[in-house]
């Protein structure tokens, strides 16, 4: 079964790099689609069928935080939500966990970190609160 991944980042280089990581890791197959901002990402999520969202926080128009708030109770919300950011910190992580983010990873994203993050999210029971899943 194919896992559908939405990579939302305003940098084409980052989107392609993350796609290459998904092509290289086991556990697939993965089908990646892209959004250059939060508005495009929300439109794709509205269509349904996205299993994993990797979103940058700093995007034009609707930024990543606005996107996360918009999908928090969305009926087609991806099962796994991962934030990619260059500004990782405890306060930011706490705020993101309020939006039910499964994980926060630092940019640049490596294949090893992406693989470990996906494996960690697979081990977390779905009924645990987001604040516990992020630990």
pLDDT digit string, tens, across residues 42-54: 999 999 999 999 9
**pLDDT the model gives residue 25:** 85
pLDDT digit string, tens, across residues 1-36: 899 999 999 999 999 999 999 998 877 799 999 999
pLDDT at 95 over 80: yes
**pLDDT the model gives residue 15:** 97
**pLDDT the model gives residue 125:** 62
Q: Where are the domains of the chain?
A: 3-133
**pLDDT the model gives residue 128:** 46
The pLDDT > 90 percentage for the chain reads 73
Report the CATH architecture of 3-133: 3-Layer(aba) Sandwich (3.40)
**pLDDT the model gives residue 126:** 56
**pLDDT the model gives residue 16:** 97
Residue 13's CB is within 10 A of a number of other CB atoms, namely: 9
Nearest by Cα to 98 from 112, 85, 83: 83
């Amino acid at each position: 079964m194919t896992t559908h991944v939405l990579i939302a980042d305003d940098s084409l280089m980052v989107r392609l790099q993350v796609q290459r990581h998904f092509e290289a890791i086991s556990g697939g197959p993965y089908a990646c689609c892209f959004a250059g901002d939060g508005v495009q990402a929300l439109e794709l999520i509205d269509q349904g069928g996205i299993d994993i969202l990797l979103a940058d926080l700093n995007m034009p128009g609707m930024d990543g935080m606005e996107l996360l708030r918009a999908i928090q109770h969305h009926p087609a919300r991806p099962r796994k939500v991962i934030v990619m950011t260059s500004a990782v910190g405890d306060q930011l992580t706490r705020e993101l966990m309020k939006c039910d983010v499964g994980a926060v990873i630092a940019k640049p994203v490596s294949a090893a970190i992406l693989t470990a993050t996906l494996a960690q999210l697979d081990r977390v029971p779905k009924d645990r609160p987001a604040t516990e899943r992020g630990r």
